[in-house]
Amino acid sequence: MDVIKKAKGVEEYIIKCRRDLHQIPELGLNLPKTSAYVASEIRSMSIEFRENVAGSGVVGLIKGSKDGKTIALRADMDALPIKEETGLSFASQNDNMHACGHDAHTAILLGVAKVLSENKDEIYGNVKLIFQPAEESPGGAKPMLEAGAFENPKVDAVLGLHVGNLINTVTKNGSIGVCYSNMMACLDSFKVKLIGKGCHGAYPQSGVDPVVVVSHYLTVIQTIISRELAGTDSAVITVGKINGGQAYNIIPNSVELEGTVRAVDQNIREYIARRLEEIAKDLSKTMRGTCEFSYNFGYPPLVNDEEFTKYFVESAKKIVPREDIIELKKPSMGGEDFSYYLKQVPGTFIFMDTPMAIDGHVYPNHNPKFAIDESQLFKGAALLIQGALDYLE
């Protein structure tokens, strides 16, 4: 099969789907319009599929004419609660926005489905099409796995991609970033309530000031990164929310804070979680207070399979020039629930550079003016098609 020619043949279709989806962005697990759109397109291709998987997920199955393994191709479908400011003719028609390129991922996979469904005679085994909700929040990959998305037939490998402007070292439109191991961080969160004893601000000795406890806690937890981990370990602790107090002259009873932890190694992740709790309890006790602590282990670190990634790179060379395949030697601290799929089967996740300027500036993912270069989307489809065919053969 001339994969590039086939992908170019559905380029207009991919762009149409992307623009249609871009206008109806939806959030989380409940994507009724998006899911219905995908199901309608899949149905028109006479592809066997399941709807309402883990909410609004859609799982299609393309059976090849020859026996073989099964590979899953995944596209996330959800958007973000951001008001679009691009000024595009096909901009969002509501207060949400596809500010991370998931509309493009879905459109690319629909293009892949169209090509593969029309060329079943060249497929060994099966291709599963995973249209997943809730990648941004609260996470759709795990519920889809629990709903049997990787069963009947059992999936042997998985492949996915992400468009946009994600890695600084990937600068040429249409180039791809690959990683042979730990590629992205976990996506964890924690909450701490530091409890003191409220009193008059003029007489702090009569109470226990949780504001002071918080100030020490914020300083100490950063020493986990700077003094307890090796300099080569990649991890981030960020406190993004603090609530406490009613008036300038009143010491409150308690102060609450929330933060996120990012780590690319599971052992480091677990160590940080344990130390955050230990410091909260020990520090509050030392300063005559108490605390309440909770930690949420979210998406695990995304770790690509080395052997599968090596295979994929050889496959990708048939689609893009070798110089446009860039090895990402440093992991991203962003999180991705594609990591759940990679804990089940070998596979790889890639970045594809597709930035488009708005008002002369290129904006990052999750920005109200984020935009993508649609002329590169056919390459995404070609990479997935070629990767799937080569693996199955």
CATH of residue 52's domain is 3.40.630.10
- CATH at residue 223: 3.30.70.360
* Token duo for residue 274: 């344990």
Exposure pattern of 272-284 as b/e (b: 16+ CB <10 Å)? bbebbbebbeebb
Q: In sequence order, what are the beta bridge partners of 126?
A: 63, 70
pLDDT in tens, 329-365: 999 999 999 999 999 999 999 999 999 999 999 999 9
**Burial (CB count within 10 angstroms: exposed 0-12, middle 13-18, buried 19+), residue 366:** middle
- One domain for residues 310 and 219: no
* Token duo for residue 84: 């679009």
Is 60 exceeded by the pLDDT of residue 170?
no
pLDDT in tens, 121-148: 999 999 999 999 999 999 999 999 999 9
pTM, full prediction: 0.95
- One domain for residues 159 and 197: no
For residue 354, give its domain range: 3-185+301-392
**Burial (CB count within 10 angstroms: exposed 0-12, middle 13-18, buried 19+), residue 99:** buried
Provide the mean pLDDT of the chain.
Answer: 97
Beta strand 254-263 pairing with 182-184: unpaired
* Token duo for residue 310: 């090596």
- One domain for residues 207 and 75: no
CA distances from 340 to 21, 302, 309 (A): 25, 8, 17
Phi-psi region of 304 (alpha: psi -120 to 50; beta: other; left: phi over 0): beta
Band the pLDDT of 169: cuts 50, 70, 90: low
Tell which of 265, 299, 333 closes a domain.
Answer: 299
- One domain for residues 274 and 321: no
Residue 114, H or E segment: helix 102-117
- One domain for residues 210 and 332: no
How many domains would you assign to the chain? Answer: 2
pLDDT in tens, 258-276: 999 999 999 999 999 999 9
Segments in 190-337 forming alpha helices (H): 210-223, 266-286, 306-316
Tell which of 299, 327, 349 closes a domain.
Answer: 299
